[in-house]
């Protein structure tokens, strides 16, 4: 199944990553009011709207700022350069045990967006400031160095992140080697989309 590339499709049908796409059971439909509120906040703050990894991604000064996501238990707004965020209000959460920095605001009710809107706006403004100034987080030392595109994809896709971190080191390296061999970021993003089903299935890049 191909991930969507049109932003309107996300809010009307879903991301296209599972068999629930374009059905009433799709998580985006359950959380559509909250997701729409998040979209409205992002657009009101001069962020450029795009689609990456089948999800709404918002950009400022050429840098990914936040990405939206939905799953059965809730929906989220994830900050893409989490290592820089101060989190003064203590609302950011980690994706899982393997996540180094808290990066997402997890919401479990559609009306939570309105209640948290001032904090969300303040955090987006903080992230815009880093992008405007060209400030980037220091690259964390890892046993396996992950391409930025893969890190960003996992930030917005908890299922992918959990599956990737569950892979053996050898299988993880097979993906990082394959992705790192691509010269263009767009190529790496495209490969991640194609690899997703394999990663979820627990396979390496070269396995069938």
Asked if residue 141 has pLDDT above 80, the reply is no
* Long-range contacts, stretch 78-82, CB < 8 angstroms, 24+ apart: 78/103, 78/104, 78/105, 78/155, 78/156, 79/103, 79/104, 79/123, 79/127, 80/127, 80/152, 80/155, 81/127, 81/130, 81/131, 81/136, 81/137, 82/137, 82/155
Q: Tell whether the model's pLDDT for residue 17 goes beyond 90.
A: no
Say if CB 65 and CB 128 are below 8 A apart. yes
Residue 99 has pLDDT above 90, yes or no: no
Q: Is the pLDDT score of 1 beyond 70?
A: no
Helix (H) or strand (E) holding 92: none
From the CA atom positions of the chain, what is the Rg in Å? 16
User: How many angstroms separate the CA atoms of 204 and 208, rounded?
Assistant: 8
Whose CA is closest to 178, among 201, 207, 137, 157?
207
- Check residue 95 and give its pLDDT: 73
Round the average pLDDT of the chain to a whole number and report it. 91
Specify the 3-state DSSP secondary structure of 156: coil
- Residue 11, pLDDT score: 96
The predicted pLDDT at position 142 comes to 58
Please determine, for residue 168, whether its predicted confidence score (pLDDT) is greater than 60: yes
Instruction: Kindly report, residue by residue over 190-203, the tens digit of the pLDDT.
Output: 999 999 999 999 99
pTM of the model: 0.81
Q: What is the pLDDT of residue 166?
A: 87
Q: Is the pLDDT of residue 18 over 90?
A: no
Q: What is the mean pLDDT of residues 84-108?
A: 88
- pLDDT attached to residue 98: 62
What's the whole-number mean pLDDT along residues 115-143?
A: 90
pLDDT at residue 140 in the model: 58
- Strand 63-71 to 74-79 pairing: antiparallel
Q: Answer for the pair 164, 179: CB distance below 8 angstroms, yes or no.
A: no
pLDDT digits (tens, 9 = 90+) for 29-72: 999 999 999 999 999 999 999 998 889 999 999 999 999 999 88
């Amino acid at each position: 199944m191909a991930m969507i590339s049109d932003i309107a499709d996300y809010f009307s049908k879903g991301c296209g990553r599972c068999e629930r796409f374009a059905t009433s059971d799709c998580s985006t439909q359950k959380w559509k009011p909250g997701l729409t509120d998040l979209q409205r906040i992002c657009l009101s703050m001069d962020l450029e709207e795009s689609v990456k990894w089948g999800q709404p991604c918002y950009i400022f000064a050429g840098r990914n700022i936040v990405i939206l996501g939905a799953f059965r238990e809730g929906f989220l707004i994830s900050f893409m350069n989490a290592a820089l965020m101060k989190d003064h209000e203590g609302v950011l959460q980690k994706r899982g045990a393997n996540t180094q920095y808290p990066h997402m605001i997890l919401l479990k009710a559609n009306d939570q967006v309105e209640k948290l809107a001032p904090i969300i706006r303040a955090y987006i403004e903080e992230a815009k400031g880093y992008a405007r100034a060209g400030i980037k987080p220091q690259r964390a030392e890892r046993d396996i160095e992950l391409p930025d595109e893969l890190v960003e994809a996992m930030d917005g896709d908890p299922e992918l992140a959990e599956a990737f971190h569950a892979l053996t080191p050898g299988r993880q390296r097979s993906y990082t080697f394959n992705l790192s061999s691509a010269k263009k970021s767009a190529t790496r993003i495209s490969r991640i989309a194609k690899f997703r089903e394999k990663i979820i299935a627990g396979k390496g890049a070269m396995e069938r």
